[in-house]
Amino acid sequence: MQGNHRKKLSAALAILMLSSQPVAASGLEAARSKAVQKKSSIRSNMAGTQSKISQTKGQVAAVQAEMSALDAQITRVNIKIDQLNGEMQKLQAEIAKTKAELEAAKAELLEKKELYAKRLRAMYIANDRGYLDILLDSTDATSLIGNARMIRSIATSDRELIDEINAKVKEIEEKQALLAEQEKQLAQKQQQARIERSNLEAANAQKAGYMNSLMNNLSAYEAQYDAMLRESDAIESQIANLDLSIQKAKQEEAARLAKQRAAQQVRRQKASAPRARAAESSASADVVQYGAKATPEERTGELYWPVPGHHRITSPFGYRIHPILKYRKLHTGVDIGAPNGTPVVSAASGTVIASRFMGGYGNCVMIDHGGKVTVYGHLSSRAVSPGQSVSAGETIGYVGSTGMSTGAHLHFEVRVNGAVQNPLNYL
């Protein structure tokens, strides 16, 4: 839509510029007014897009911070998993060692049992004599005591051997059960850590997807902003061309009117010299009665100060919340506060290219200085006409509050090749 509008505006401008007939300034001013309105709309949209860009960049920064925090948590969980894996390796080595000890103890128990069985078989082979037979075979008290001691020694040795082996087996089995429980608990911790890492990685992946979406939006907003900026610059160039065309049309109109006035004057002089002198005297009286004039101040910059004696800036150049429209908008000049009716002077010598009521500008005068155009808005009245040549410091109007204004002041603009500049850089 914006591209079609620009093409239509360019085509209209080309038709106006190439026409062999004299171009009406009003038609050019209407085209210029449309271009200015379109530029204002684009600038408003640019401000909205810039706000979206800033908001999206803030969201990107927040998501980046969240992803960094998730990365830190994942790193900590990975360290925890590594530690648990190390503990598991040690525990499994201990379990393997205990298993080997248990196998050795069982082998020893088996060996002892076989030794005990051999002793029993030997006793059985010796006529299955038991402890009582051995005692009864004693020939005297000495052999009886010796045989009794031998029997007690064998019995004690058998009991101790069995008890020792059973205790050792029990100890190893208890240790093996404890290690198995520790392995189970450690495996649960490993599983919990892996689940935690999986959840964190899933959250991080979700954030990464959201980040990609934000970056795509940011790229789209920036591309949209750049396109609007290019269109705004193109319309600015069109406005500059229109200003030149308006200036040329006004000069041609002024020349035509001057010729008409000169011809009328010659006719009046031929018809009646006294009447011509009376008309000339009356015109002089009108000039004297037009209004007060201001004495230009000493120039400190490239241009004269447009409101001599009044230097209070009520609103500077740049973006601001418009006092009437109530949205952010580029303020294309500076506002200089002064009482209603205060004389306004031309900032430099030049030619008046516009002197009329211009919408939000109210009563407005535009002067071409050759490469620069100055604009004087919200005037209560105008003292110059299109095509008129003015000198630097000459009164061209009076401070007022016409158009979109909230109080008496001068809106002063400086345009170089059609582009608005900060007037304070030239005053």
Contact 423, 333 (CB under 8 A): yes
pLDDT band at 143 (very low <50, low <70, confident <90, very high): low
**Whole-number average pLDDT of the chain:** 79
Determine the Cα–Cα distance for residues 214 and 202; give it in Å rounded to an integer: 18
pLDDT tens digits, residue range 19-49? 433 445 677 788 888 888 888 888 888 888 8
Q: Does the structure show a pLDDT above 80 at 149? A: no
Radius of gyration of the chain (CA): 54
Can you tell me the mean pLDDT for 349-365?
A: 92
Range of 71-80, 295-304, 313-322, 388-397 with top mean pLDDT:
388-397
- What pLDDT score was predicted for residue 336? 96
- Place 284 in a pLDDT band, splitting at 50, 70 and 90: very low
Q: Is the pLDDT of residue 313 over 70?
A: yes
Token output for 408: 């008496």
Domain covering 23-272, topology: Helix Hairpins (1.10.287)
Q: What residue spans define the domains of the chain?
A: 23-272, 303-427
Higher-pLDDT residue of 35 and 153 is: 35
CATH topology of domain 303-427: Glucose Permease (Domain IIA) (2.70.70)
CB neighbour class for 249 (10 Å; exposed up to 12, middle 13-18, buried from 19): buried
Domains 23-272 and 303-427 share a fold: no
Instruction: Note the pLDDT of residue 381.
Output: 95
CA 285 vs. chain centroid, Å, equals 64
| pLDDT score recorded for residue 154 | 60
Residue 271's identity, in one-letter code, is: A
For the cut 70, the answer to whether the pLDDT of residue 271 exceeds it is no
Instruction: Give the residue among 239, 229, 227 at the shortest CA–CA distance from 10.
Output: 239
Say which residue, 276 or 69, is predicted with more confidence.
69
Mean pLDDT across the stretch 126-133? Answer: 49
The pLDDT tens digits for 390-411 are: 999 999 999 999 988 889 999 9
